[in-house]
Amino acid sequence: MLSFLRKISIGGRIKDGVPTSDEMEAVEDCLDAKNRGLISQSNTELKESVYGKLIKFKIIIDLLRTIKDPEKPQTLEQLDVVYEDCVEILRQTPKGVSIIRIEFNPTVPHCSLATLIGLCIRVKLERHLVALFKLDIFIKKGAHSTEQEINKQINDKERIAAAMENPNLRELVEKCIQEEE
């Protein structure tokens, strides 16, 4: 876990610099808190501190990496569809609601399941993250032949809501986002 967190910080996403070992300990403590089921409190109280941001990254990436590909046996992480710097947390709305931006890289430029992957990412994050946030999901620039069309579709909440009421689609999504213990 430590090495993973270091990797994020070295990746330059944390503007406040690489956390010191003391800070890392604090992060570890918070993660323990999360494991004890205090995820919501730790998430909202910590807000945009370095620790808070790190924890959010860690939580989000952990949720994404285990999503299964709709047609292959591997996970999105194993197929490099999601990767460590695919998550960006911006702070935008006046009352401090985080805007989470997820980018993903479909395995092939004409991947017919890119929309479904986008749907899985959205449903899983919306179901598991407790704090208030806004989610924007995009295909990695240049990674898909109909990138614009798919981006528009996976960010239209009315279409997403309707898709999730379609029993067949819902079953597909549930299969992909099911957590194996």
Partner 1 sequence: MYIVEMGILELKQTLNGHRGRVWNVCWHPNGTCLASCGEDKTIIIWGQQDPKWVVKTILTEGHTRTIREIAWSPCGNYIASASFDSTTAVWDNKSGQFECNATLEGHENEVKSVSWSCSGQLLATCSRDKSVWIWEVNDDEYECAAVINAHTQDVKKVRWHPNEEVVASTSYDNTVKIFKEDPGDNDWSCIATLSSHTSTVWSLAWNKEGNQIATCSDDQTVKIWQEYKPDNEPGIVTPNNESVWKCVCTITGYHTRTIYDIDWCKTTGLLVTACGDDIIRIFKEDSDSDPHQLSFTMVCSMDTAHTQDVNCVQWHPTIPGQLASASDDGSVKIWFYNE
Question: Applying CB under 8 A, which residues contact partner 1?
Answer: 92-95, 97, 132, 134, 152, 156-159, 161-162, 165
Q: Which is nearer to partner 1, 6 or 91 (CB)?
A: 91
Query: In whole angstroms, how close is the CB of 153 to partner 1 at the nearest point?
Result: 9
Query: In whole angstroms, how close is the CB of 156 to partner 1 at the nearest point?
Result: 7
Place of tokens 């213990």: 181
Query: In whole angstroms, how close is the CB of 42 to partner 1 at the nearest point?
Result: 19
Distances (CA, A) of 144 to 25, 96, 113, 162, 165: 41, 33, 11, 24, 27
Query: In whole angstroms, how close is the CB of 168 to partner 1 at the nearest point?
Result: 13
Q: Which is nearer to partner 1, 19 or 118 (CB)?
A: 118
Q: Quickly list DSSP for 74-119.
A: SBTTTTTSS-GGGEEEEE-STT--EEEEEEE--SSTT-TTHHHHHH
Q: Which is nearer to partner 1, 18 or 90 (CB)?
A: 90
Helix (H) or strand (E) holding 136: strand 133-139
Q: Which is nearer to partner 1, 7 or 152 (CB)?
A: 152
The DSSP symbol for 47 reads T
